[in-house]
Amino acid sequence: MCGIAGIVSGTQRIPKEESNLERMIGALHHRGPDECGLLFDSQCAMGMSRLSIIDLSGGSQPICNEDKSLWIVFNGEIFNYPELRTDLKSKGHEFRTRSDTEVIIHCFEQYGLDFVGHLNGQFAIAIWDRADRRLILARDRIGIRPLFYAVAGDRLIFGSEMKAIFAQGSIKPEIVPEGLADIFTFWVNVPPGTIFKGINELPPGHTLCFDHSGIRIQRYWDYTFPEEQDFLKQPEEQTLEAFRELLMDAVTIRLRADVPVAAYLSGGIDSSVISAMVKHRHNNDLITFSVAFKDRGFDERAFQEKMVSQIGTRHHTVEVGTREIADDFSNVVWFAEKPLMRTAPAPLFALSRCVRENGIKVVLTGEGADEFLGGYNIFKEDKIRRFCARRPESKCRPLLFSRLYPYIVKSEGAINPFWQAFFTKHLEDTENPYYSHLLRWENTSHIKNIFRPHVKQHFKLDKQVAKLDRFCPPEIMKWHPLNRAQYLEASLFLNGYLLSSQGDRMMMGNSVEGRFPFLDHRLVEFTARLRPELKIRALNEKYILKKAFSSLIPEAIVTRPKQPYRAPITDVLAGRQTSRLLKKMLSPEYVEKYCYLNPKAVERLKKKISRTGENTTARDEMALVAAGSTQLLHYHFLEEFDAHEFHLPAKVKLVDLV
């Protein structure tokens, strides 16, 4: 695992000192503290910071092909590299290392831009083609590894994180109101947009070519679902066996490493299945890690302990409370590089710190099962709403919502009028492609009320949703409603928040690599073809996962109700434990100074939350986190960025082709 960055000119020579490459790579030191590599050519300067995991002694980058016409820097892992290496050697390619990085360069040499289709992995790749004076960037199918780029004159600047692009110096950070509106409506920026002016995200499943004629971006993969008559038709037991084999192989190849591989254990079924498979089939001395909360309302340690007791792992628990979350929240925003609506990334940052302190570089986690196997309440909520829409006058059908949210039912057995109105809004608009998510987006966009008019004017849901008309495939309305909801959840929330703000950034902030078996593209493609009732049977989520692996884990974990992962908010941002920096950021002076938020609205919000305490609404909590994280983002990137001192690792590989 690494961080990559570089600057390439389409037409002009780039003097070494002008490239600022060392500062760019220094900004990514946390992603790869073991060593770094720098490459200088007349029109290209690119490099990487390395977290060494495969071929520890021989895998230093940059790496070239046989005649040194192609050079690569690479962030990620290619899990099928041994098989690719064997195939490429049979085709005449010569290898100097045992690394997966060298496999990529020969794969590109063999297949051209189609090389990405041969890779099973999580990656952000930069290849410098000296013969054609062109740069090729590629990002993995799901978007596990980040990759950003910007254009400055005739130059393209790229980096694993946006801070590397800013460190180059040609582009200064500027937060755009459109970016704030997207995040505080959809939770994410719609690719290729970001929170910063002029910075683009290379979307998952895309390649980019840059040369003297400009930029060409091409999609090579996307989520796709069959029409209803084309779902997989075979006996259930046969489907279960195929699912088991695919997941087992996805786990097996993700254990390929020259360092120990541990696992996260949340107490839910997804990570429990992964840990049990590793323990029983591969590693009898498995190390596992969990996060626990001092506030029992958020804590899942009882289920974590059941799992540890059953499979017998060397287990580590990091316990966090309000103080720890408050202390970490500023760093969380620095690494996330975007505003947030939850403090939930902070405990995961503490968890990865615990992993690193115990000498582990690689962990397996269970992300992806909820998205592709129907695990979220939003999928079941969509199913109930469509059922209600067939008889909108029914008084009984809405009671099904209490199966998901018991607190919405009054003592006399009727639904609270507020929730009745909430869930029946747009009830019969079932042909809207965004039906599953519209209620949430409308609810979240109320955060606009804490912003100043010049920001608030960009919170126009109809115009924001129009971006999705260009983003989503035209065939989406031919899919089953569950598949439409899955597409939105996977292509937006999974990539832009879960794998970013809670995944890659919180792990790599402490130099830890996450690997995600449920996100193996073969498994994603297989589950896309499954009939919806194999994912959600009645209102039982992840049916196929429970059916296939119930023998591996305690029944209490199989049958437990779904518990969304959350973390304390109110006391973190508006209590005695709030950090001094965050208090300053939310003070009237700094709210006025940074010019995004309405000072009076923020003060009203803080007073309201201090009065209501534990009864604070989720909407108010999200608004408070939005305010604090927006202020911190400005502080880190617009006020303090130039004061950062970025340092290279002690070990440096230099390739000078000038």
494-510: pLDDT as tens digits: 999 999 999 999 999 99
CA angle 580, 583, 587 (to 5 degrees): 140
CATH of 241-372+489-559, one of 3.40.47.10, 3.40.50.620, 3.30.460.80, 3.40.50.10420: 3.40.50.620
Of 560, 559, 549, 555, the closest CA to residue 281 belongs to 549
Q: How many Cα atoms are found within 13 Å in the side-chain-facing hemisphere of 613? A: 3
> Where do we find the tokens 């992603």?
31
Tokens representing 118?
């041969």
Percent share of the chain, pLDDT over 70: 99
CB-count burial class (<10 Å; 0-12, 13-18, 19+) for 125: buried
Residue 514 pLDDT: 97
Residue 305 scores a pLDDT above 90: yes
Q: Between these two residues, 58 and 182, which has the higher pLDDT value? A: 182
Of 656, 590, 601, the closest CA to residue 624 belongs to 601
Q: Between these two residues, 350 and 413, which has the higher pLDDT value? A: 350
> Left if phi > 0, otherwise alpha if psi is -120 to 50, otherwise beta: which for 58?
alpha
Residue 614 scores a pLDDT above 70: no
Lowest mean pLDDT among 27-31, 428-432, 643-647: 643-647
| pLDDT tier for residue 93 given thresholds of 50, 70 and 90 | very high
- Contact between 458 and 180 under an 8 Å Cβ cutoff? The reply is yes
> pLDDT tens across 349-362, in order?
999 999 999 999 99
Mean pLDDT of the chain: 95
Q: Crossing angle for the helix pair 269-281 and 301-311, nearest 10 degrees? A: 20
Residue 53 pLDDT: 94
| pLDDT tier for residue 616 given thresholds of 50, 70 and 90 | confident
Tokens representing 326?
């408050």
Q: Summarize the confidence of residues 178-202 as an average pLDDT.
A: 97
- In Å, what is the CA distance from 262 to each residue of 274, 279, 302, 353, 644? 11, 10, 20, 14, 33
> Where do we find the tokens 């590793």?
278
Q: Crossing angle for the helix pair 417-424 and 435-444, nearest 10 degrees? A: 130
Q: Summarize the confidence of residues 265-292 as an average pLDDT.
A: 93
Percent share of the chain, pLDDT over 90: 88
Residue 27 scores a pLDDT above 90: yes
SS3 582: helix
Residue 130 scores a pLDDT above 80: yes
> Where do we find the tokens 């996977």?
490
| pLDDT tier for residue 1 given thresholds of 50, 70 and 90 | low
Residue 655 pLDDT: 96
Of 281, 228, 227, the closest CA to residue 254 belongs to 281
Residue 170 scores a pLDDT above 80: yes
Residue 615 scores a pLDDT above 90: no
Residue 283 scores a pLDDT above 80: no
Of 45, 163, 13, 88, the closest CA to residue 638 belongs to 163
Lowest mean pLDDT among 198-212, 266-280, 401-415: 401-415
| pLDDT tier for residue 620 given thresholds of 50, 70 and 90 | very high
Q: Where are the domain boundaries for CATH 3.60.20.10 in the chain?
A: 2-221
Residue 410 scores a pLDDT above 80: no
- Contact between 51 and 33 under an 8 Å Cβ cutoff? The reply is yes
> pLDDT tens across 441-495, in order?
999 988 999 999 999 999 999 999 999 998 999 999 999 999 999 999 999 999 9
- Contact between 438 and 425 under an 8 Å Cβ cutoff? The reply is no
| pLDDT tier for residue 175 given thresholds of 50, 70 and 90 | very high
Q: Between these two residues, 420 and 615, which has the higher pLDDT value? A: 420
Residue 183 scores a pLDDT above 70: yes
Lowest mean pLDDT among 122-131, 349-358, 392-401: 392-401
Distance CA 141, CA 442 (A): 29
Tokens representing 629?
């994280």
Type of residue at 198: G
Q: In the chain, what is the greatest distance between 2 CA atoms, to the nearest angstrom?
A: 79
CA angle 166, 5, 178 (to 5 degrees): 45
Q: Where are the domain boundaries for CATH 3.40.50.620 in the chain?
A: 241-372+489-559
Q: Summarize the confidence of residues 414-435 as an average pLDDT.
A: 91
Distance CA 191, CA 184 (A): 15
- Contact between 117 and 220 under an 8 Å Cβ cutoff? The reply is yes
Domain 2-221 CATH class label: alpha beta
- In Å, what is the CA distance from 101 to each residue of 87, 141, 511, 521, 568? 15, 18, 19, 20, 41
